[in-house]
Structures are given as structure tokens and as C-alpha cells.
Structure 1
Amino acid sequence: MSRTFEELADEAGAVSVDGWDFSWLVGRATEERPSWGYQRLMSGRLASASSALDIQTGGGEVLAGAAKFPPAMAATESWPPNVAKATELLHPRGVVVVADPDEPPLPFADAAFDLVTSRHPATVWWAEIARVLKPGGTYFAQHVGPETVFELTEVFLGPLGEEVRRKRHPDEETAQARAAGLEIADLRTERLRMEFFDIGAVIYFLRKVIWTVPGFTVEGHRDRLRELHEKIEAEGPFVAHSCRTLIEARKPRHT
């Protein structure tokens, strides 16, 4: 017998959404992964770096997957619960975790790192990335691309305009990177299928990925959530699509 809307909503509304671990969704939602394998590629670059910075590290889960860190390794994070989780996970491996508001300036000196990484940063301050990179240094990251999960966003916010749809477009991001003095070494984009099998998965996702529906709460959106629950019950999984961009940008060597 299927669970009621109230049971699913109460469960998903109460579970912790700290950190950046999505294991609670196993069996309840799926998302295709990009073909390039960001964590593996990031790990390889960290192994050969002398100093590195991971921006907006979340709970440190992705960075912790690296096999080897450079002699000088730092990470920034703004959300206090994630700062605590990242500190617990990364300090034993020698990573300095710095609480930072995700606004310029980064709390580091000019030319401090030969590698800067980030997975799914909420904001990208290209001038600051260029500033803290050494000449010849690299920014290597996986960004959330344009129109990610817009199918779900539009359930709650209605149709979104072209200006919103262009945000995070790789063409715009590469233009911003070049304006900050960086050269694009690699750029790849993929659109990936997502499925939500019950309304609890939707609620958990929206509570965790807070920019999908800004200001989301279960109580504030209960009527629309109930409608979506009934749609899933009648038609099967709710399908959306994410977009991911792999970007590698280098700071030129000055002669």
C-alpha cells in the first residue's frame, strides 16, 4: 500500500539536510552523472599540485574523495553546519577549513594557489579566482549549468523568462572568466535526466538545494506539493533535467 501524502511530507520535512550527501534519496530519486567523472579528475590534479583551494566545499564530502592532497590545502564554506562537517572530515587529513561568506574578497593573499577547485559553487567570483591563482595556475570546476531542474522550479514559480534561463550559461561564464584575465583550456556541458519517485524525494531535494525554489517550505507550498504528489501517484516519476558544465581555466604566465 502506498504511503499517504502526509506521511511522506512529514518524513521528508523532518530529516536533516546538513552536508552535501544525497544518500537519503537512494531508491527515491535518480540523477544521471556527467560522463567525465569530476571527482576522479579533480583528485588527479590535486595529487600534482603544490598548493590548492577548494571553494564552497559544502560538508567536504567531494574534496575528501581525493586520494592525495598537496602540501598546502585549504577549503572555504559559508554555511555553519557545513563548516563543522567539513572541519571534522578534512582536518584529520591536514586541510584547513575557513568559514567564508562566499563574497569577495577570498581570505587569501594574491597568487596563493596553483590550483583552485569547486564543485557546484552557488556563486563564481572570477576576479577573485584569478587573483588568488599563481601565474600558470588553474581553476578546475564542475558548475551547475543553465535551466537545471527548471521543470520542478516551474511547478512552484510558474514559467521562467529568458533572462533567468540564460543564467549560468557556459557562453556567459567563459566570457566572464576571460574578462577576469583567464584562458579557457577545457569546456564541456551535458544535460542529464532526473527522476523523483515520490513527493518525499521532491521535498528533501527542495530543502537541500535551496536555490531551486527560493524560500521553499513544506507548509508554504503544501497545496502545490499535494497536487504534485497526486500527479506522481497517477502518472509515475516526475522527470526533470539537470545541466552540468566542466570548466578548466588558466591564469597566463607573465614573462
Structure 2
Amino acid sequence: MSGTKRTFEELVAEAESVSVEGWDFSWLEGRATEERPSWGYARSMGERMGRAEAALDLQTGGGEILAAVPRLPTLTVATESWPPNIAKASALLRPRGVAVVVNHTGASAGVEGVPQEPLPFADDLFDLVVSRHPVTTSWAEIARVLRPGGTYYSQQVGPRSVFELVEYFLGPQPLASTARDPEVARAAAEAVGLDVVSLRSERLRTEFYDIGAVIYFLRKVVWMVPGFTVAEYRTRLRELHDRIESEGPFLAHTTRFLIEARKPGA
């Protein structure tokens, strides 16, 4: 954190002007902290990529996680739906020989005017499908494109993640208590014929050290407070700024779960 205390207006202006393209949160360094799950998704996903022949990364975001994998399969494809992320992912992944396909499967569920699409790939094509923090999971499509014996490996946002912050702005959200439940994911995977071989979940500490970090986070993770703008929530933002200044970092908790499911067969 900077040793110079900045005003509310300065923090707001900075956080409103910074780009939120891609899925890189390095701008928050020194301004927010998030405890990481013990399983180390990027490392373990990379190990699986190194053993795969054909792999698909669903909802790749800006492609940052996939681009960091040391060894990619000969056939590696990524999908993404948000235009700024598509451009960033393409720039990162094309030099690695990865095609970035525009596709809305799972990524825009519930967004008015954006139709859901099947994955534009043949049946039984991939022996590994991965996804980090998908908006929704299209289990039937994943089962279709996996080869017999193939694996789906995904780190997902769990129930009521960062809800201390969500409810600060939106008030109590009781209907969200069962959303993104790991056991719901298990049931959905099994319903399309996949065998769940591993399911782990953790609740992790997250701290926001200034109001700029809060604004940046809500601009980037747009589904947390739908329609968030500084103008709409300026009074609550000012109150939260004053609270952080007097009491210290705003504490919330992220929830994450890791699911590994396998398609029966050879």
C-alpha cells in the first residue's frame, strides 16, 4: 500500500479509469488480498495439460491461466464470449498455437438477448476439458465433447462468495444461500453420465484495503452487484471508504470448489 493517504475522490477516479479487460487481477496488488485454495489450480491443471492429447479451456477469460501452462497439447482450443477478453486471449494464446473460439456456452446464461449455443466441436474430441471460474457449467455439452475416459477439471466459485461485500450494497440475499453448491454440481455431472472422482471446497479470507480496490473488483466481476456503477452506489461507497479509513480493511470470504469428473469408457 502507498504511504501517501489519498482522498475518496482520488481513489474513485483512479479505479473508474483503469481497464478491467482480461482476467488478471494484478492491479489489486497491495490493495486487496485473497487467500488461495490449497490445491493450486493453475499448477495442477498445467500438469494435466502436459499429459493430454487434445484439450479445451472453457470461458478462458483473457487467457492468462492457459498461456502460463508450460506444455500444451498439440490440439488446444479455448472459448470465450466477452469481446474485450476475446481480443486479449487471442493475443496471448495464438503464439502458443491455441485457437480462441467465440462461444456463449455457459458464459452468458440468463443474459437477455444472448442465446445459448452448443459447443462447436465434434463428439468425443477432447481427453481434457478445463475451466476456471465458469459463469455456469454446461454439463451435457462437456460430456458430449469428452472422449471416453476423458476428464473435466474445474475450479469454481462456491456459494455466497464475497457475500459480505455483495450484501453491503444489496442487502440480505437469502435466495443465494444454495447457489453454486458443490453437491449441486456433483448431481449435475452425474446426471449426464460423468463420474465425479474428486470434489473439494474451501472458504478463504479476502480483504479490501481501500475503496478503489472495491470499485475495481465490482467493475471487473460484474455479476457480484449487477449493474454496479459508482454513480448509483456513491453514498454507500463513501460510507465504506470512511469505515475502511477508521476500522481497517473490509473483510470478506471467498468460497471455491474443485471438481474433477471423468467420462466412463476406455
TM tier, shorter chain?
over 0.9
| 1:231 aligned partner | 243
1:148 aligns with 2:161: yes
Letter of the structure 2 residue corresponding to residue 56 of structure 1 = Q
Letter of the structure 2 residue corresponding to residue 136 of structure 1 = G
| 1:28 aligned partner | 31
Letter of the structure 2 residue corresponding to residue 186 of structure 1 = S
Distance 1:208 1:98 in 2: 22
Letter of the structure 2 residue corresponding to residue 250 of structure 1 = R
On the 8 A contact 1:104/1:125 being kept in 2, the answer is no
Secondary structure at the aligned position of 1:166 is classed as: coil
On the 8 A contact 2:103/2:117 being kept in 1, the answer is no
Question: Equivalent of 1:186, from 177, 184, 198?
Answer: 198
Distance 2:117 2:26 in 1: 32
On the 8 A contact 1:104/1:128 being kept in 2, the answer is no
| 1:7 aligned partner | 10
The C-alpha deviation readout for 1:2-26, integer Å capped at 9, x for no partner, is 2111111111011000001111101
Question: Equivalent of 1:132, from 145, 148, 152?
Answer: 145
On the 8 A contact 2:124/2:148 being kept in 1, the answer is yes
| 2:171 aligned partner | 158
Q: Offset of 1:237 from its aligned partner?
A: 0.2
Secondary structure at the aligned position of 2:23 is classed as: coil
On the 8 A contact 2:55/2:126 being kept in 1, the answer is yes
Q: List alignment gaps of at least 5 residues for structure 1.
A: none
Q: List alignment gaps of at least 5 residues for structure 2.
A: 106-115
TM-score, length basis structure 2: 0.93
1:253 aligns with 2:256: no
Letter of the structure 1 residue corresponding to residue 140 of structure 2 = A
Distance 1:119 1:64 in 2: 13
Distance 1:122 1:65 in 2: 22
Question: Equivalent of 1:56, from 39, 44, 59?
Answer: 59
Q: Aligned-pair RMSD on alpha carbons? A: 0.9
Question: Equivalent of 2:208, from 190, 193, 196?
Answer: 196
Q: Offset of 1:107 from its aligned partner?
A: 1.1
1:211 aligns with 2:223: yes
Question: Equivalent of 2:50, from 47, 50, 58?
Answer: 47
Distance 1:241 1:53 in 2: 30
Q: Offset of 1:180 from its aligned partner?
A: 1.2
1:91 aligns with 2:66: no
The C-alpha deviation readout for 1:51-85, integer Å capped at 9, x for no partner, is 01000000000011111011110000001111111
On the 8 A contact 1:120/1:144 being kept in 2, the answer is yes
The C-alpha deviation readout for 1:115-136, integer Å capped at 9, x for no partner, is 0000001111111110110111
| 1:108 aligned partner | 121
Distance 1:104 1:172 in 2: 22
The C-alpha deviation readout for 1:193-229, integer Å capped at 9, x for no partner, is 0000000000000000111111101111111111111
Q: Offset of 1:250 from its aligned partner?
A: 0.4
Deviating beyond 6 angstroms after TM superposition, the runs of 4 or more aligned structure 1 residues are: none
Q: Offset of 1:104 from its aligned partner?
A: 3.4
The C-alpha deviation readout for 1:160-179, integer Å capped at 9, x for no partner, is 11x31111110111001111
Distance 2:192 2:170 in 1: 34
The C-alpha deviation readout for 1:135-193, integer Å capped at 9, x for no partner, is 111000100111100000001110011x3111111011100111111100111101000
Letter of the structure 2 residue corresponding to residue 118 of structure 1 = S
Distance 1:18 1:239 in 2: 25
